[in-house]
């Protein structure tokens, strides 16, 4: 009886190891194609970003209470897909520290890092272009999940 249990247990552990190897192989295959998948998702989403996206602040001045006035917005609407710890300085002007940094998808179908610099006088931003692979590398798979979720929420809203 112990031999039967032991043989069954051995077979079970072998199956687990086989499935683990198969999972690793499939995971690697998914990782190889993740940027291509994200690019396709972006292309399919781009036409509706004009409806579901946000007007993101380009620049504005701050009054003594911190309220913004004389604001200007980026011409294309965007959806926010992720946030990360900001880099120290903006690529367009190293004298400007980055206070907030987001991954966005614009209605032109392109990914960007939206970098905000703020001081006591105002806020301005810089759009740093990203490839889909760079978006995943910097922001992780959260960008894929958030893009999927934005589409799912849009569909649900359409159904309602």
DSSP string, the chain: -HHHHHHHHHHHHHHHHHHHHHHHHHHHHHHHTHHHHHHHHHHHHHHHHHHH-B--EEEEEE-TTS-EEEEEE-SS-EEEEEEEPPPSEETTEEEEE-SEEEEEEETTS-EEEEEEEE-SSEEEEEEEEE-HHHHHHHHTTHHHHHHHHHHHHHHHHHH-
Give the contacts of 112 (CB within 8 A, at least 6 positions apart): 78, 103, 104, 105, 106, 127, 128, 129, 130
Instruction: Specify the pLDDT at position 23.
Output: 67
In this predicted structure, what is the pLDDT of residue 13?
A: 78
For the question of whether the overall pTM of this predicted structure is more than 0.85, the answer is no
pLDDT attached to residue 63? 85
Ranges of the chain with pLDDT below 50? none
- What is the model's pLDDT at position 27? 64
């Amino acid at each position: 009886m112990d031999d039967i249990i032991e043989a069954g247990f051995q077979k079970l552990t072998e199956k687990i190891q086989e499935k683990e190897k198969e999972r690793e192989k499939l995971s690697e295959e998914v990782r190889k194609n993740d940027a291509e998948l994200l690019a396709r998702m972006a292309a399919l989403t781009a036409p509706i970003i004009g409806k579901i996206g946000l007007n993101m602040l380009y620049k504005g001045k701050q009054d003594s209470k911190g309220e913004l006035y004389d604001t200007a917005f980026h011409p294309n609407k965007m959806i926010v897909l992720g946030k990360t710890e900001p880099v120290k300085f903006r690529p367009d002007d190293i004298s400007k520290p980055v206070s907030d940094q987001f991954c966005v998808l614009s209605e032109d179908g392109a990914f960007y890092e939206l970098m905000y610099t703020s001081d006591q006088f105002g806020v301005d931003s810089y759009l740093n272009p990203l490839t889909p692979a760079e978006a995943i590398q910097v922001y992780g798979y959260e960008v894929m999940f958030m893009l999927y979720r934005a589409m799912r929420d849009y569909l649900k809203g359409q159904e309602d």
